[in-house]
Amino acid sequence: MAKSHHSAREDTHFGEKTVPLADKQGLVDDVFHSVAHRYDLMNDLMSGGLHRAWKDALVTAVNPPKGDRDFHLLDLAGGTGDVAFRVVEAGGAGTRVTVCDINADMLAVGRERARERGHDEAVTFEQGNAEELLYADRRFHCVTIAFGIRNVPRIERALSEAYRVLRIGGRFLCLEFSAVTVPGIDALYELYSFNVIPRIGAAVTGDREAYQYLVESIRKFPRPERFADMIRAAGFRRVSFTPMTAGVVALHSGWKL
Ligand SMILES: C[S@@+](CC[C@H](N)C(=O)[O-])C[C@H]1O[C@@H](n2cnc3c(N)ncnc32)[C@H](O)[C@@H]1O
């Protein structure tokens, strides 16, 4: 049989740079290690508070039960717990959230916030890689990931893992930056992303490069139609997406049926 002469090394994007796939996670971890203590403030500053409305739309779609019916959500790449707290506050006594994130610094900020808000019973923070979850099959009623999937080196693996740990009838919801297609707004958005965000990042966190990466990673993320195909390829059904704020963000949805 003819031997392939291709190198076994796989490359991927880290912002605008091309890096070995195996190196991306470490670089992403450095970014979130550096910004963890200012992460929530930066979200408000960068999005002008809009991230709250986007997360509200996600929570509305999660639709946790208001009563004491058992409902267990897995929030992947859940960082400092923002989505988890909103879901617990929207749901009833049976609503619990497991936040899974690879970064110990983001989780530490999240645990502290949970204590301050009295959510330390309902929300659990666990360190883990979205590509290789340590949870049993069909454990969760719903799986969410907000602004996390574009940081994961092997997106397909994270999608199959989300599918595996979901119960039959459960829903996967993913909030992610998307593609602005409204003429005029697209140019303004580019200008804002590449000129303003890294400057705010430098002023607030002292790490301009981290925010340069974050805006570049948005540009490299697949367009929503292609990402919806990836969700379908992981096994999900009734796959759809809803663009918000002229396409700055999209809420993707798929069901395990
Ligand atoms: C932009 S933050 C989003 C945090 C939170 N979901 C929110 O919306 O505020 C991205 C998060 O993805 C996490 N992350 C990156 N790669 C990951 C992986 N392979 N598995 C789990 N989490 C990961 C980072 O540590 C970081 O906390």
Nearest CA to ligand 1 atom 25: 103
What digits encode the pLDDT tens for the residues 163-191?
A: 999 999 999 999 999 999 888 999 999 89
Distance CA 206, CA 126 (A): 28
| Ligand 1 neighbour 78 (Cβ under 6 A) | yes
Q: Which of 29, 30, 151, 175 to mutate to test the pocket of ligand 1 (most atoms within 8 A of CB)?
A: 151
In the reported structure, the alpha carbon of residue 49 is separated from the centroid of ligand 1 by a whole-number distance in angstroms of 19
How open is the CA angle 168-91-231, to the nearest 5 degrees? Answer: 35
120: three-class secondary structure by DSSP: coil
What digits encode the pLDDT tens for the residues 23-59?
A: 899 999 998 998 899 988 989 988 889 999 999 999 9
In the reported structure, the alpha carbon of residue 182 is separated from the centroid of ligand 1 by a whole-number distance in angstroms of 28
In the reported structure, the alpha carbon of residue 128 is separated from the centroid of ligand 1 by a whole-number distance in angstroms of 10
| Ligand 1 neighbour 42 (Cβ under 6 A) | no
**Element containing residue 218 per DSSP (H, E):** helix 208-220
Is 165:136 a contact under the CB 8 Å cutoff?
A: yes
- What does pTM read for this prediction? 0.94
8 pLDDT band, cuts 50/70/90, is: low
| Ligand 1 neighbour 87 (Cβ under 6 A) | no
Residues in a beta bridge with 145: 76, 174
| Ligand 1 neighbour 210 (Cβ under 6 A) | no
In the reported structure, the alpha carbon of residue 125 is separated from the centroid of ligand 1 by a whole-number distance in angstroms of 13
Q: Is residue 70's pLDDT more than 50?
A: yes
Q: Buried b vs exposed e over 107-126: b needs ≥16 C-beta within 10 Å? A: bebbbebbeeeebeebbbbe
| Ligand 1 neighbour 91 (Cβ under 6 A) | no
In the reported structure, the alpha carbon of residue 149 is separated from the centroid of ligand 1 by a whole-number distance in angstroms of 7
Q: Is residue 6's pLDDT more than 80?
A: no
What digits encode the pLDDT tens for the residues 240-253?
A: 999 999 999 999 99
pLDDT of residue 4: 45
Listing DSSP states for 68-112 in one string gives S--EEEEEET-TTSHHHHHHHHHS-TTEEEEEEES-HHHHHHHHH
| Mean of pLDDT values over 57-63 | 98
In the reported structure, the alpha carbon of residue 190 is separated from the centroid of ligand 1 by a whole-number distance in angstroms of 23
Distance CA 143, CA 206 (A): 33
Can you read off the two tokens belonging to residue 22?
């195996």
